Each structure stands twice: as structure tokens, then as C-alpha cells.
């Protein structure tokens, strides 16, 4: 409590409690030299003298009781509103699927609320993957020829490329590798109409209307079913 040396307790691997844990006394550390504190004038770290630091250290660790320390620390606290509020579904009225949109937006206020989009069947598309062939040079090594060393280049109709590095040389095939790169294409809508639920599920949802507000009944009554 007073920042002095004391002998504490520890527990051995066998579970035995031992009175053998030495704790050194509290000591005043060096003054703050943080670059951020020097940059921001509101922190005032460099305005506190060594004598003032010693006085505060002695007052806290020697003169104050435990209750006084608690009051002192509490007096330094500043109450602020939390930047992020966590929204719980407990005791929240969820009567329609769109109610989850509001809950999601309220789940975060800073730096800004989540962006939410309520999707329907028109937003679902058929995703088609097409592969494009790309011809690229092989991995380069030290002292390999570069484009500035080319003296002649021939493109064949079948896609082959031949080059000369010296005018007197024969044409040779360009070292190349074939890469396949995927390209995603949204071809068309996956569904032309809303999906239908089973007749049994529709009946169950109608039974739940007795627990819901009257103004939301039409949503469940107009659900497509088969």
C-alpha cells in the first residue's frame, strides 16, 4: 500500500502456497520524453518539474491511505460517451426482415454507421467465369537479354513469336509462358421472380401473426408460396 518492499505469496507447481515472493519498493521513474508529448502542447509533460514529480510520488505512496488513493484516481477520470455502441437483439422487436437493417446501422456509430443494403431476388446474378490467355515473359535472371537487345521480331499466325538478338542470327522462339487469368462476368439474373416458400411454412407464418403488430400482417399474407 505504501510502495515499500514486501514479501508476497506464490504457488508452486504442486499447488503449495509459499511466502517467498519478493517485490521491490516503488521508485520514481524518468520524466516523460515522448515525441508525441513534445508535439502536443495540451499534454504539458515538459512543464512538470522534478520537484513536483517527487512531491506527487511521495504524496501518493507515503501520505495517502488506500481509500484516498481511490478517490484521487476517480477524480482524474473524465466521463465520455463511447464511440461505438454494441446493439443487442435481446428485447428488440424484430417483426420484419427489414428490422435487421436498422439494427445493423446502429451497431456502429463512429467513424460512420455501416452501409446496409436490403437485397431481393433481382440482386442475385448468375456468375460466369471466363479464362483469358496471357502471354508473358519468363522470369528474368541477371544478364538476361532485354527488349533493347532485340534486332528483329516476327509474329506468326498461330501465336508463336520469333526474335533475333543479332542480325546475323537465325530466328528463335521467344521464351514465354502461358498464363490463364479469370474474369468474372455477371451474365443474367439468377431468379426472375421471388422464390416461393412451402405451403407448410406459409401456414406457420400466418399463425405467428397473432404475436405481431397489425401493420406488418400484410407482409406475411403476400408471401408467395406453393
pLDDT digits (tens, 9 = 90+) for 29-55: 888 888 888 777 777 887 888 899 888
Half-sphere exposure of 135 (CA within 13 A, CB side): 7
Give pLDDT, residue 201. 94
pLDDT band at 87 (very low <50, low <70, confident <90, very high): low
Mean pLDDT of all residues belonging to the chain? 81
> Is the bond leading into 208 cis (omega within 30 degrees of zero)?
no
Give pLDDT, residue 133. 53
Give pLDDT, residue 185. 66
Domain spans, the chain: 6-64, 128-189, 191-226
Bridge partners (DSSP) of residue 128 are 185
pLDDT band at 1 (very low <50, low <70, confident <90, very high): low
pLDDT band at 223 (very low <50, low <70, confident <90, very high): very high
| This model's pTM is above 0.75 | no
pLDDT band at 200 (very low <50, low <70, confident <90, very high): very high
138-183 tens-digit pLDDT: 566 677 777 788 888 887 766 678 888 888 888 888 776 555 566 6
Q: Does 135 have pLDDT greater than 60?
A: no
For 158-214, the DSSP string reads TS-EEEESSTTSPPEEPPEEEEEEEEEEEEEES-SSPPPBPHHHHHHHHHHGGGS-G
Amino acid at each position: 500500500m505504501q510502495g515499500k518492499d514486501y514479501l508476497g505469496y506464490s504457488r508452486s507447481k504442486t499447488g503449495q502456497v509459499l511466502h517467498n515472493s519478493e517485490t521491490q519498493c516503488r521508485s520514481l521513474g524518468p520524466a516523460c520524453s515522448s515525441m508525441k508529448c513534445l508535439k502536443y502542447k495540451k499534454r504539458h509533460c515538459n512543464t512538470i518539474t522534478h520537484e513536483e514529480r517527487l512531491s506527487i510520488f511521495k504524496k501518493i505512496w507515503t501520505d495517502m491511505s488506500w481509500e484516498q488513493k481511490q478517490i484521487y484516481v476517480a477524480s482524474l477520470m473524465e466521463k465520455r460517451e463511447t464511440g461505438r455502441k454494441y446493439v443487442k437483439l435481446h428485447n428488440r422487436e424484430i417483426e420484419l426482415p427489414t428490422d435487421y437493417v436498422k439494427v445493423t446501422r446502429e451497431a456502429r456509430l463512429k467513424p460512420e454507421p455501416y452501409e446496409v443494403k436490403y437485397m431481393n431476388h433481382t440482386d442475385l446474378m448468375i456468375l460466369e467465369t471466363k479464362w483469358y490467355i496471357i502471354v508473358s515473359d519468363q522470369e528474368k535472371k541477371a544478364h538476361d537479354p532485354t527488349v533493347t537487345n532485340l534486332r528483329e521480331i516476327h509474329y506468326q499466325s498461330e501465336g508463336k513469336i520469333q526474335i533475333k538478338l543479332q542480325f546475323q542470327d537465325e530466328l528463335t522462339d521467344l521464351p514465354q509462358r502461358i498464363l490463364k487469368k479469370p474474369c468474372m462476368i455477371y451474365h443474367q439474373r439468377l431468379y426472375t421472380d421471388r422464390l416461393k416458400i412451402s405451403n407448410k411454412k406459409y401456414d406457420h407464418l400466418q399463425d405467428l401473426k397473432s404475436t405481431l403488430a397489425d401493420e406488418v400482417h400484410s407482409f406475411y399474407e403476400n408471401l408467395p408460396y406453393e
